[in-house]
């Protein structure tokens, strides 16, 4: 019986001792788990900064401090002139000015990988112990804000280098010459950007100069078929009307050099643009609803009309054209083309197989359009016909200060017309088509005459003696 009680006592004592032994083991395990969950292992570094024993937030703070230090570093950008000369001492920038920054997302991801809470505690413990025994360095990824980089490098202006020069047409006495292109140079900022991203701890870097090819080459122009003058058409204007003459010259200069590929459409309003004082257009005479008035850009209808006649004479396809409300003095009836921003336009398409080059010339009192391409054996005849005419009605204004029999024209007025334009097309002198281009009505405008109503003085004297 005593033996039985003795065995029972030993068993109870063993259980008590086991319980007390388990308490410190469990406590140690909890402390270890807390440490691994919240603190980075010793021997973990970033840029030689020890992160061991720090929390994730403390590690982020260390990276922020490191970034501030790094962004104060400087780098000198040297540059050349594109002519093979040595690189010059350039400008010095801080990393911050060039747009450097640390990719903190990548850094945080690396730290989270060390503290990977998705793994079992046992695996995390083994990784933790491994780092503590053998140093691990996190790799920081540096990046550069591209827009900020370009902003900093605006000091290196490409305008100081030779620009590329496109091949062009040169017209001399109606003969077409092609002037060959010339390549230019520009700073290769993209190459420097990639270089800085790939390198670390640089004190100097070279901003290289790259060759820039012209966007238009002589070889390209050779294929466009601009070989010779197709047509030249000229109209005259009053050089004494300075604002109107100025508008004509300005609009002509804007159109000059327009190149129209096969199938392309020319729009006068699109090319010339809105007529405003800010763009240099002046106030001059215009037709508005059958009346003579003034408006910004007055006179440019003569530009569109001159171009319209050149277009007709090479048989291009006219898409849109309007006649004036009143007749114009510089072309026959039905051969005018009125334009007005937002309403009337002159549009035509290049219905040939070659490009068409539009050139303009202005003299003191004339405007000329020249169209260049490859000649064909086609010729065009334009026939303007008056179908009916309405004489301008006359309105008299009595002038008591002027003597009877005297008259002075105040407004010349306009006769009204109904007219049409026929276009005959010939190939090798043989007519192949006849087309009614347009039938147009021009309004009449009142002719105003001031007439005298005052009797001669001699009649007044004789009457007073009665």
Give 364-407 pLDDT, tens digit per residue. 999 999 999 999 999 999 999 999 999 988 888 888 888 888 88
Domain count, the chain: 2
> For residue 178, is it within any domain?
no
Q: Is the pLDDT of residue 85 over 90?
A: no
pLDDT category at 86 given cuts 50, 70, 90 is: low
Residue 206 and residue 229 in one domain: no
- Specify whether 111 is located in the same domain as 229: no
Averaged pLDDT for residues 189-213: 91
Rounded-to-integer distance, Cα 280 and Cα 249, Å: 11
Question: Do 398 and 299 share a structural domain?
Answer: yes
pLDDT score at 326: 92
- Which structural domain, as residue segments, surrounds residue 138? 31-162+185-211
Q: Which of 302, 225, 229 is closest to 268 using CA atoms? A: 302
Q: Which pLDDT score, from 0 to 100, does residue 34 have?
A: 78
Q: Are residues 243 and 303 in the same domain?
A: yes
Q: Residue 218 falls within a domain, yes or no?
A: no
β-bridge pairing 74-79 and 204-207: parallel
- The residue-averaged pLDDT of 351-356 equals 97
**Does 452 score more than 90 pLDDT?**
no
Is the domain of 149 the same as that of 234? Answer: no
Last residue of a domain, which of 142, 177, 211?
211
pLDDT score of 290: 63
Q: Is the pLDDT of residue 21 over 50?
A: no
Highest mean pLDDT among 95-109, 176-190, 292-306: 176-190
Q: Give the pLDDT confidence score for residue 465 in this predicted structure.
A: 42
Do the domain assignments include residue 219? no
Overall average pLDDT of the 332-336 stretch: 97
Q: Phi and psi for 410 in degrees, rounded to 5?
A: -90, -45
Q: Alpha-carbon distance 395 to 292, whole Å?
A: 16
Give the E-state strand segments of 103-236 in sequence order. Answer: 136-138, 142-144, 168-172, 175-179, 184-187, 204-207, 209-212, 228-236
């Amino acid at each position: 019986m005593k033996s039985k009680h003795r065995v029972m006592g030993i068993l109870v004592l063993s259980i008590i001792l086991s319980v007390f032994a388990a308490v410190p083991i469990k406590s140690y395990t909890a402390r270890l788990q807390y440490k691994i969950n919240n603190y980075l292992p010793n021997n973990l570094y970033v840029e030689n900064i020890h992160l061991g024993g720090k929390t994730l937030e403390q590690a982020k703070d260390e990276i922020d401090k490191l970034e501030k230090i790094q962004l104060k570093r400087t780098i000198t950008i040297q540059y050349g002139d594109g002519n093979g000369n040595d690189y010059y001492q350039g400008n010095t920038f801080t990393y911050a000015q060039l747009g450097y920054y640390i990719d903190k997302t990548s850094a945080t991801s690396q730290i989270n990988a060390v503290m990977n809470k998705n793994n079992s505690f046992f695996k995390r413990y083994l990784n933790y112990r491994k780092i503590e025994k053998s140093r691990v360095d996190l790799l920081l990824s540096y990046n550069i804000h591209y827009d900020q980089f370009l902003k900093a490098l605006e000091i290196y202006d490409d305008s100081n280098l030779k620009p590329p020069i496109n091949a062009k047409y040169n017209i001399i006495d109606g003969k077409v010459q092609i002037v060959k292109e010339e390549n230019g140079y520009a700073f290769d900022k993209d190459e420097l950007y990639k270089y800085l991203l790939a390198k670390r701890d640089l004190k100097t870097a070279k901003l290289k100069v790259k060759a820039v090819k012209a966007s238009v080459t002589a070889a390209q122009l050779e294929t466009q078929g601009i070989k010779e003058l197709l047509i030249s058409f000229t109209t005259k204007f009053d050089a004494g009307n300075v604002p109107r003459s100025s508008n004509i010259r300005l609009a002509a200069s804007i159109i000059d050099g327009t190149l129209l590929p096969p199938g392309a459409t020319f729009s006068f309003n699109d090319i010339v643009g809105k007529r405003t004082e800010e763009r240099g257009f002046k106030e001059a005479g215009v037709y508005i609803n059958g009346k003579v008035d003034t408006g910004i850009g007055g006179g440019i209808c003569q530009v569109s009309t001159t171009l319209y006649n050149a277009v007709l004479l090479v048989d291009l396809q006219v898409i849109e054209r309007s006649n004036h409300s009143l007749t114009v003095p510089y072309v026959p009836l039905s051969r005018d083309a009125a334009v007005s921003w937002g309403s009337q336009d002159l549009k035509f398409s290049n219905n040939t197989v070659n490009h068409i080059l539009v050139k303009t010339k202005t003299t003191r009192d004339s405007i000329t359009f020249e169209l260049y391409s490859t000649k064909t054996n086609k010729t065009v005849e334009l026939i303007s016909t008056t179908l009916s005419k309405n004489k301008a009605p006359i309105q008299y204004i009595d002038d008591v200060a002027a003597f009877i029999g005297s008259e002075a024209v105040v407004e010349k007025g306009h006769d009204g017309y109904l007219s049409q334009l026929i276009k005959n097309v010939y190939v090798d002198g043989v007519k192949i088509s006849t087309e009614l281009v347009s039938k147009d009505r021009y309004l009449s405008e009142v002719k105003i005459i001031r007439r005298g109503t005052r009797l001669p003085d001699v009649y007044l004297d004789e009457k007073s003696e009665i």
